[in-house]
Structure 1
Amino acid sequence: MGHDHDHSHDDVPHYVLELEDSADSREDIPCPVCDSWRWVPLYEGVGLRGNKLKLVACSNCSHFFITPRPTLEVFERFYADDSYFHLCADFSEVSLEDKMAQFEDDAFWKKRFEHGQRLYENHLSDVLGPDDLVFDFGCGDGAWLGGLQQASGCAIDGEEISPIYAEVIRRKFGVDIFVGPAEGLIDDIVEKHRAKAKVVIVSGSLQHMLDPMRCLRAAREMLTQDGRLYICNWSIFDHFMASYGGAARRLVGEIVSWEHLHYFHELAFKYMVERAGFEILSYAPESIVRPMHMEIVAKKTTADAPAPDPEEVAAVIHRVRAFESATIADRLRIR
């Protein structure tokens, strides 16, 4: 089957082409947060990577997600080679060679450790000690873990979807983390760390997951009774679509892509955490720990999460459509 792209196939991750060619590679889904099939389309067309996709909003809880989504098998194939790592290098605006070389630079690690150190100073200084364990879902190069270990002396472990990053962590910290998509590893992770982790981090990685709720529920099982969950992610309104740091406002079609399956905002972000079995201790729309992210610190609870107010859900859906219309109008005025 052919592709009616206006760009070279070399510019498109191979799993995007695979998704477009094979109905067996994707599956329609209910809302990953609340399981409702009541969703409305926000955007359908060509996305950031030249990929054809559909972004929808849940009419029940207001979560934004892509459907159909890739299957776990396709996800595993994409992240098993260096396609994702090339995207990471492109995002950092460096060559793949320079990105690899920075892992040998002490100044790079000193700067990267600051995330974990700020997390400790702002949220964990009275929680985390040398006898405790920190687990990081989607730990990347492991710098958050390294910063927390340096600050507190804690033990560290994590999960990372990229084998290249996992090898960096093994060399730098001497830890063999779990490698692969979280959904395929969660049972083993929970079995190893059930009720043993003082802190679980999910920093900027929930949007990459097929099933973010499964990750958060696993985090709850892993935490000690007095443990803490720390999550942070971009807000679709404040960090993706809005003008930020001098950048122009962007349309939905300019931000959505297959490797980012979920797009968060305050209402659904909070509800997701509460529905997973947590009490939110603090929320910040602009994190001090990781700039340009909203963040939540939470602890385990047995209380039920109240469903979002239908009027608030409707307002969120109206907001993204109004934002889109205003951005288009601004561009037309400039022309």
Structure 2
Amino acid sequence: MSQADDRNATPFELKVDSIRMVADGVAELVLVDPSGAPLRAWEPGAHIDLRLPNGLVRQYSLTSDSGDGSHYRVAVLREPNGRGGSEYIHGGLRAGDVLVCDGPRNNFAFLPAKSYRFIAGGIGITPLLQMIESAEHADVPWTLAYFGRSAASMAWANDLKARFPDHVEVRPDDIFGMPDLGTALAGIAEDELIYACGPHGLLDAIAAHLDEQARGILHVERFAPIDAEALVADRQAFKVTLDRSGIDLEVPADKSILDVMEEHGIPVVSSCREGTCGTCETAILAGSVEHRDSILSEDEKAANETMMICCSRGIGTDLVIDA
């Protein structure tokens, strides 16, 4: 994964062109430039960060046509027990409202392959939609196994099944029971890639089903950290230098770099605060880091080029970051 493109680092405004329900509890937002100008380019797997008027920042995968710069489309699952972002969008957002946006940025890059196997759980279908369109356009073989609690809760399921009846299996739990991963992962071809997005349990079950060699072809995007307990376990205090700000900060064991930067009035955009969204990804200029995020691959962590300052931590006193 590379750092967010500098051209997409400046916040910009988006107007809510329309809102409609596309499944039980799932709202689709179409977003446009307030002046009608073309929007920033993006590639399948990308997301944008919406800065909501209630002060929250939330990340949503882009589901529109990546070749159409006239609008962005995102889908938001209502989560009554969440932290307030989805409740605001479902209950307080209206067509015509203008939001500040960051991005697009991509932590879930769609890589070339001879064939693809897509697995979605509920709202996890969102980052996969444009990957499916790209594979279809390139005439690359693909299949989709789409799981969800009920048929009514699965956005775009009927459209996908109608368009691609030979490629798509829609399996709501209330009809078929628990996801059948044995069938979904049977007969993986050479040079095939698996792209999966959905609840933590589904992604863990997919990884557990694959042997060690096959796990190397699995690409996932998570809504929750791989190990929530590891985010706060055995934390030690450390020092960090903010290169652009010219400031040295002490980061105590019970706080993150992000926390301390905010305490010092240093502006930084964040969303999940648990290492799953990539919004706070920051370049490492020097020093060693204990990576605790759920985004970077093991190779990327070993390369030590970027870190998620909401959860990852410095080792020693020589950490310097681009902030």
TM-score bracket for the superposition, by shorter chain length: 0.3 to 0.5
Larger helix fraction of residues: 1
So what's the TM-score if we normalise by structure 2? 0.35
TM-score, normalised relative to structure 1: 0.34
**Higher percent of residues as strand:** 2
Point out which structure has higher relative CO (alpha carbons under 8 A, 6+ apart).
Answer: 1
